[in-house]
Amino acid sequence: MKILHVDSSILGGHSVSRRLSADIVARLKAAHPAAAVTYRDLGAEPLPHLSGAVLAAAQGPQAVSDEVAADLKAGAAVLEEILGADVIVLGAPMYNFGVSSQLKAWIDRIAVAGKTFRYTANGPEGLLKGKKAFVALTRGGFYGPDSGMNAFEHQESHLRAVFTFLGITEVNFVLAEGVNISPEQKAQSLAKAAGEIAALAA
């Protein structure tokens, strides 16, 4: 089993989503000791935003600058990582109601027509079938159905759409919300998430 572990928080050692994604990976490793883990830290080593020059260069052979060549290489590397993975574990904080821009830059590199999805006469088809994903979501506030903030939630809904579009239908979300409300609330939300992770990996 090949696990791709991706973190996307910019908060380094203070990150909550990193803690949860590491917990998920540790439990998967305990259940599958032979599993190989590839780790990508989008916070420490951000991918450049997808640009018009890179998109044009990816369409066919042409002379490109060193900068564009390095950019294409970085994009190809993350694409290979997800194509080669059986399980994706993602740490995904909510920043300004959606995912971090670092994570969005990664999504822009893995959503590639002909590689991870294709358009057919019957509409789009995801090509990452058979893979499984675990997503650790963290939020400072609350965005559930009764919170009054549900319409602002573009984090889980976005990731659900992306994974589904790419053909990954088995996506397990673990949520720790309200982590910036108070230390007590944070502890409670993390304990709940830890329980969910233990149940997932059981």
Ligand X SMILES: Cc1cc2nc3c(=O)[nH]c(=O)nc-3n(C[C@H](O)[C@H](O)[C@H](O)COP(=O)(O)O)c2cc1C
CB of 106: closest distance to ligand X in angstroms?
A: 15
Among 54, 89, 95, 107, binds ligand X (CB under 6 A): 95
141 lines the binding site for ligand X (CB under 6 A): yes
Alpha-helix residue ranges (DSSP H) falling in 94-147: 101-110
CB 106 within 8 A of CB 21: no
**How far apart (Å, rounded) are the C-alpha atoms in residues 91 and 189?**
16
Among 6, 93, 116, 159, binds ligand X (CB under 6 A): 93
97 is in an annotated binding site: yes
CB of 187: closest distance to ligand X in angstroms?
A: 13
188 lines the binding site for ligand X (CB under 6 A): no
94 is in an annotated binding site: yes
CB 141 within 8 A of CB 181: yes
What beta strand segments (E) does 8-155 contain?
36-41, 87-93, 117-120, 123-126, 132-138
116 lines the binding site for ligand X (CB under 6 A): no
180 lines the binding site for ligand X (CB under 6 A): yes
Which residues lie across from 88 on neighbouring strands? 4, 133
68 lines the binding site for ligand X (CB under 6 A): no
**How far apart (Å, rounded) are the C-alpha atoms in residues 68 and 58?**
10
Among 5, 9, 81, 106, binds ligand X (CB under 6 A): 9
Stretch that binds ligand X, among 70-78, 111-119, 137-145, 159-167 (CB under 6 A): 137-145
27 is in an annotated binding site: no
For the chain, give me the number of helices (H) and strands (E)?
6, 7
165 is in an annotated binding site: no
Please give the span between the terminal C-alpha atoms of the chain, in angstroms, as a whole number: 17
Q: Which residues in this chain contact ligand X in the complex, by CB under 6 A? A: 9, 11, 15-18, 93-97, 138-141, 179-180
